[in-house]
């Protein structure tokens, strides 16, 4: 077995915090005089003052995690000094327009929490053909109130199958089919002009096996990856490792060749996991982030973050080193490009999620944003069960996230839906976790009798019975099925479901993310089956191309598209004015006497209370009128109706209230 597996990985982490801070302070004292001089030389007087101020503010947050990660085998002081110089070089290369943005963000550091934030997520080719083509879509985004645009992976991928771009062959260039780095820079500038921030993926866990780093590794020129000569170590790890893609990529290791041995491949066999115990990997990835930030990327989506640390005997997710890597990266980027924030892609159990936002026993800056996958999963569970109890239970049990953070709330994204429903929460409402997850798969794949959903099972695992769900939001809400039958009543119900889900994500206090096509209710796209590079991955079902005909109907209030689009515009515009929807404060989910209703309340010291109500049932429900006393309805699927001291909620209705 590898000596690393025997090592005490927590030796440095166990030292008292005060001692670790003293070491960091000593290191900074030694470093400062030289950095001051270098900064003044490369940045000029004013900028260098700002850089040094940031260094003093952030240095401990860089040093502590670097020391925890590498300190047992490397000289932390030397490494920290090198990272600081890397950041200084990136600061010096930062274009003037982005330095201005830095200034603005230093004045308004919580910009990503504003209620006007609305996100949009799209594949460049599927949305607009090319990066240049995107300029013609900016009016569309503005109409939806979008302030944040996440473009799916756009760096140069390997040829052929590439996991939707998540198998990157070169971090320094853009996929030539989409455009160039110059196009990306130009787009970022155009977005900035309109108050929109660009978000791009950092595929940090792995590279394509065609990446130059992998080739150099094979040639013995670096040690960016690990390999194992035989199955001994892989088998030992796999004893406790779940499969991400059990049906077509079982196991977590792939054979390079007889000479090269087994390499770690958490995802597809062409995606090689980097060895994040090597500080050179950290420096290289940091270089990638800094380079993107200097092109105008403002939000870096940390792809597959939970997988960065591997420990024998664990599921190799959410390990302590994952958080150290993100924290060290956070601090280093703050030095060079303070306008930049991080978003964690951590689709994990609720108790593991909040740490990605810096929520540890002692808060530490990590990622500002993270997907609220709990809310997403629970909303779909509500629609299938026509009941809100599980959501109420699970959301109330979640630890609150640090005040400085913001959830990205969403209905659908480009990935499958994995039923991250905890057995504890299921049991608390009298359900069996595994049985409920099976039900959700049956329901959303449409095989449950009476189901309105038209999804597909993703990665069914016959051994464990696990599966996840693919399908567009509209298809999962019953729109495809209703349209197939030309049933106007069923179309109405499907639209009510769809808008209801968005009304929760837009009203929950975070950044709502809209997945491209969902603003028009686009249907499942079966055409992926004809493309050999996609046919085996049914997540393409819910990654349709923009449908120009449907797009043309977005302003028609009588068309399905126009109805959805109209609501989303309304949600965004109303949200923008509601201070209580500022992210960072917790939504209090209320326990009510009607199990069908999800109710949440938010408070803001300057605007008072916000209350959201959503009836998940397909029959009327009601709540005590006292809940809305002193509040006025600001938006809703239906007008407020009070009867016998109750607020009446029609089937699948939702309402937003606020203090006048
Ligand atoms: C992330 C992406 C997913 C991809 C995986 C591997 O989870 O969202 O689409 O397959 O990472 O990169
Ligand atoms: C990432 C996500 C997981 C998803 C997978 C493939 O690992 O964390 O939820 O299923 O990618 O899409």
Question: pLDDT tens digit string along 185-223?
Answer: 999 999 999 999 999 999 999 999 999 999 999 999 999
Q: Is the pLDDT of residue 3 over 60?
A: no
Q: Give me ligand 1 centre to Cα 303, in Å.
A: 6
Using alpha carbons, list the distances in angstroms from residue 395 to 86, 178, 586, 639.
41, 40, 10, 27
Q: Is 415 in the pocket of ligand 2 (CB under 6 A)?
A: yes
Residue of 416, 419, 420, 460 best suited for mutating to test ligand 2, as the one with most atoms within 8 Å of CB: 416
The CA distance from 156 to 165, in Å, is: 8
Please report the atom of ligand 1 found closest to the CA of residue 539: 9
* pLDDT(8) > 90: no
Burial 343-357 (b: 16+ CB within 10 A, else e): bbbbbbebeebbbbb
Which tens digit of pLDDT belongs to each residue from 60-98? 999 999 999 999 999 999 999 999 999 999 999 999 999
Domains in the chain, number: 2
pLDDT at 456 over 60: yes
Which atom belonging to ligand 2 lies closest to the Cα atom of 468? 10
> What is the C-alpha separation between 504 and 600, in angstroms, rounded?
9
Assign 6 a pLDDT band (cuts: 50, 70, 90): low
Q: What percent of the chain is helix, strand and coil (3-state, nearest 5)?
A: 45, 15, 40
State phi, psi for 246 to the nearest 5 degrees.
Answer: -60, -30
Q: Are residues 567 and 621 in the same domain?
A: no
pLDDT tier for residue 244 given thresholds of 50, 70 and 90: confident
- Ligand 1 pocket member 332 (CB < 6 A): no
From the CA of 470, the nearest ligand is 2
CA distance linking residue 85 with residue 462, whole number of Å: 51
Q: With respect to residue 286, please indicate whether it lies within any of the assigned structural domains.
A: no
CA dihedral 126, 129, 130, 135 (to 10 degrees): -100
Asked if pLDDT for residue 116 goes beyond 80, the answer is yes
Task: Say if residue 603 is in the same domain as residue 560.
Answer: no
What average pLDDT does this structure show over 93-118?
A: 97
Asked, for residue 257, whether it belongs to a domain, the answer is no
Structure tokens at 19: 């001692």
CA–centroid distance, residue 376 to ligand 2 (Å): 14
Q: Which residue has the tokens 């929490």?
A: 113
Kindly state whether residues 366 and 471 are assigned to the same domain: yes
Q: Which of 242, 415, 534, 538 to mutate to test the pocket of ligand 1 (most atoms within 8 A of CB)?
A: 415
The angle at the Cα of 498, spanning 495 to 502, to the nearest 5 degrees, equals 135
The reply to whether ligand 2 has any atom less than 6 angstroms from the CB of 420 is: no
A 10 A CB-CB count for 159 gives 11
Nearest alpha carbon, ligand 2 atom 9:
347
Range of the domain at 595: 588-658
Query: What's the pLDDT at 248?
Result: 75
CATH number at residue 641: 2.60.40.1180
426, 458, 424: which is closest to 441 by C-alpha? 458
Rg of the chain on CA atoms, in Å:
25
Pair 628, 658: CB distance under 8 Å: no
Residue 347 Cα, ligand 2 centroid: separation in angstroms? Answer: 7
SS (HEC) of 435-460: HHHHHHHHHHCCCCCCCCCCCEEECC
Same domain for 498 and 385, yes or no, is yes
274 in a domain, yes or no? no
Tokens of 459: 């990665």
Tokens encoding 524: 């499942």
- Looking at the structure, tell me whether residues 377 and 512 fall in a common domain: yes
Nearest CA to ligand 1 atom 10: 163
Residue nearest to atom 3 of ligand 2 (CA): 347
Which of 520, 547, 581 delimits the end of a domain? 581
Residues marked active site are found at 303, 345
Same domain for 534 and 653, yes or no, is no
The residues, ordered by sequence, that sit 6+ positions from 437 with a Cβ below 8 Å of its Cβ are: 419, 421, 466
Task: Name the CA dihedral angle for 467, 468, 472, 476, rounded to a multiple of 10 degrees.
Answer: 70
Kindly report the protein residue whose alpha carbon is nearest to atom 11 of ligand 1. Answer: 304
Cβ count within 10 A of residue 46: 10
Do residues 513 and 390 share a domain? yes
Task: Choose one of 581, 612, 632: the last residue of a domain.
Answer: 581
| Number of Cα atoms under 13 Å in the Cβ half of residue 38 | 14
Instruction: Tell me: do 618 and 526 sit in the same domain.
Output: no
1 pLDDT above the threshold of 70: no
Residue-level pLDDT at 465: 82
Please indicate whether residue 164, judged by its CB atom, sits closer than 6 Å to ligand 1: yes
pLDDT over threshold 90, residue 617: yes
CB 168 within 8 A of CB 273: no
Q: Are residues 541 and 574 in the same domain?
A: yes
- Which ligand is nearest the CA of 247, by number? 2
Residue with tokens 């400085």: 404
Could you give the CA distance from residue 250 to residue 266 in angstroms, rounded to a whole number? Answer: 9
**By the 8 A CB rule, do 314 and 339 touch?**
no
């Amino acid at each position: 077995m590898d000596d690393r597996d025997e090592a005490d990985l927590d030796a440095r982490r166990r030292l008292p915090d005060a001692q670790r801070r003293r070491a960091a302070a000593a290191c900074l004292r030694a470093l400062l005089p030289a950095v001051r001089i270098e900064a003044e030389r490369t940045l000029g007087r004013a900028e260098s003052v700002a850089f040094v101020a940031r260094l003093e503010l952030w240095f401990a947050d860089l040093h502590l995690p670097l020391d925890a990660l590498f300190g047992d085998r490397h000289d932390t002081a030397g490494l920290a000094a090198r990272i600081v110089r890397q950041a200084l070089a990136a600061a010096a290369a930062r274009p003037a327009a982005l330095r201005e943005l830095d200034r603005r963000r230093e004045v308004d550091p919580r910009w990503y929490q504003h209620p006007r934030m609305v996100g949009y997520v799209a594949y460049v080719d599927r949305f607009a053909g090319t990066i240049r083509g995107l300029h013609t879509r900016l009016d569309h985004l503005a109409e939806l109130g979008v302030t944040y645009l996440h473009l799916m992976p756009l760096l140069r991928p390997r040829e052929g199958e590439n996991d939707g771009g998540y198998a990157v062959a070169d971090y320094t260039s853009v996929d030539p089919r989409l455009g160039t780095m110059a196009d990306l820079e130009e787009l970022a500038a155009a977005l900035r002009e309109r108050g929109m921030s660009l978000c791009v993926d950092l595929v940090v866990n792995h590279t394509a096996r065609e990446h130059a780093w992998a080739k150099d590794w094979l040639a013995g020129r670096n040690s960016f990856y690990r390999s194992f000569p035989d199955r001994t170590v892989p088998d030992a790890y796999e004893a406790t490792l779940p499969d991400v893609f059990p049906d077509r990529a079982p196991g977590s290791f792939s054979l390079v060749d007889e000479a090269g041995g087994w390499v770690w491949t958490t995802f597809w066999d062409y995606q090689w996991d980097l060895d994040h115990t090597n500080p050179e990997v950290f420096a290289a990835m940091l270089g990638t982030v800094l380079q993107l930030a200097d092109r105008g990327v403002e939000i870096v989506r940390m792809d597959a973050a939970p997988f960065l640390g591997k420990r024998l005997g664990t599921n190799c997710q959410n390990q302590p080193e994952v958080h150290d890597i993100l924290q060290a990266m956070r601090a280093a980027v703050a030095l060079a490009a303070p306008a930049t924030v991080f978003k964690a892609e951590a689709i994990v159990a609720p108790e593991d999620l909040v740490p990605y936002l810096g929520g540890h026993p002692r808060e530490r800056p990590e990622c500002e944003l993270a997907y609220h996958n709990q809310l997403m999963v629970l909303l779909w569970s509500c629609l299938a069960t026509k009941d809100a109890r599980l959501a109420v239970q699970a959301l109330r049990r979640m630890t609150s996230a640090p005040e400085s953070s913001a959830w990205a709330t969403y209905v659908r994204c480009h990935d499958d839906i994995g039923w991250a429903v905890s057995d504890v929460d299921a049991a608390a409402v009298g359900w069996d976790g595994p049985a409920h997850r099976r039900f959700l798969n049956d329901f959303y794949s449409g095989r449950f009798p009476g189901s309105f959903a038209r999804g597909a099972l993703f990665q069914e695992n016959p051994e464990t019975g696990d599966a996840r769900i693919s399908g567009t939001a509209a298809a999962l809400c019953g729109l495809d099925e209703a349209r197939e039958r030309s049933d106007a009543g069923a179309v109405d119900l499907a639209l009510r479901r769809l808008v209801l889900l968005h009304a929760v994500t837009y009203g929950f206090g975070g950044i709502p993310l809209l997945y491209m096509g969902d603003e028009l209710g686009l249907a499942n796209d079966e055409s992926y089956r004809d493309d050999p590079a996609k046919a085996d991955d049914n997540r393409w079902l819910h990654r349709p191309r923009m449908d120009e005909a449907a797009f043309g109907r977005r302003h028609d209030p009588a068309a399905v598209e126009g109805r959805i689009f109209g609501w989303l515009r309304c949600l965004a515009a109303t949200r923008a004015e509601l201070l209580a929807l500022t992210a960072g404060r917790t939504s209090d989910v209320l326990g009510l006497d009607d199990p069908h209703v999800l109710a949440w309340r938010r408070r803001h010291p300057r605007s008072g209370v916000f209350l959201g109500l959503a009836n998940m049932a397909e029959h009327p429900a009601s709540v005590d009128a006292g809940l809305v006393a002193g509040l006025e309805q600001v938006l809703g699927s239906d007008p407020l109706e009070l009867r016998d001291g109750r607020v009446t909620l029609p089937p699948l209705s939702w309402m937003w209230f606020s203090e006048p």
